[in-house]
Homo-oligomer: A and B are copies of this chain.
């Protein structure tokens, strides 16, 4: 009965193990076998054996007191080795540092994955009131300057395959873009001006301005941004850093 649908076969035990890792990554706390078993609909012994395998290689760690499991450092090491992000972070870091220093705000680097933006690196503002984002964070692309800067430069075909007709857009704040039409219009403008602005669309009280970074072939491979509290990082302030951001973006793009 294998291959009954057109789909190619994946190795089930690997699939389960990866699902388990992902479950642990979402579940912030240590998790026991029973709980995992219930959530993933796998037998107790199956979960146990998978965890044993993962544990013996350092992908999960077992708290010997509670017997529960959490992600292990091996994953951190592997994550740091991902070549594509490594190169991006390496090249971009000095520029982010410079931006953060000259603006006193937080500077970020992110890429687009599907309809989500993934933060690869951030240099936090030295101010006490600051916007903190952790590397690795994912957010809906249409609610963030970074996401809009990236979405604006993907092909029409790609865009259509991501956002199906009349699909409702999740709103993170009352100011988030909520309809596909609105998004399209907005992205057109972003493409024209070369940068994207987010005025409390991601979170009330936070503004952000972002420009994409282009690869050899003209594709937008990542984006950098500056975020700050709306009270301090006003539209005016964003206007002031706009040119600097665009200059830096070109400098970075030249290295790809």
Contact = CB atoms under 8 A, between A and B. Distances in A.
Nearest to A83: B70
Interface string A66-80: 000011110111111
Contacts of A84: 61, 70-71, 73
A82 interface: yes
Interface string A85-102: 110001001100100000
A13 B11 contact: yes
Interface string A49-78: 110111011110100000000111101111
A78 B21 contact: yes
B13 A78 contact: no
Contact of A80 (B79, B81, B111): B79
B138 A77 contact: yes
Interface in A106-126: 111, 113, 118, 120, 124, 126
A147 to B, nearest CB: 15
Contact of A134 (B8, B73, B75, B80): B80
Interface residues of A, number: 56
B14 A13 contact: yes
B76 A85 contact: yes
A160 interface: no
Contact of A77 (B13, B25, B77): B25
Contact of A49 (B11, B75, B81, B137): B11
A167 interface: no
A113 B76 CA distance: 12
A165 interface: no
Contacts of A76: 79-80, 82, 85, 118, 120, 136
Contacts of A22: 78
A142 to B, nearest CB: 19
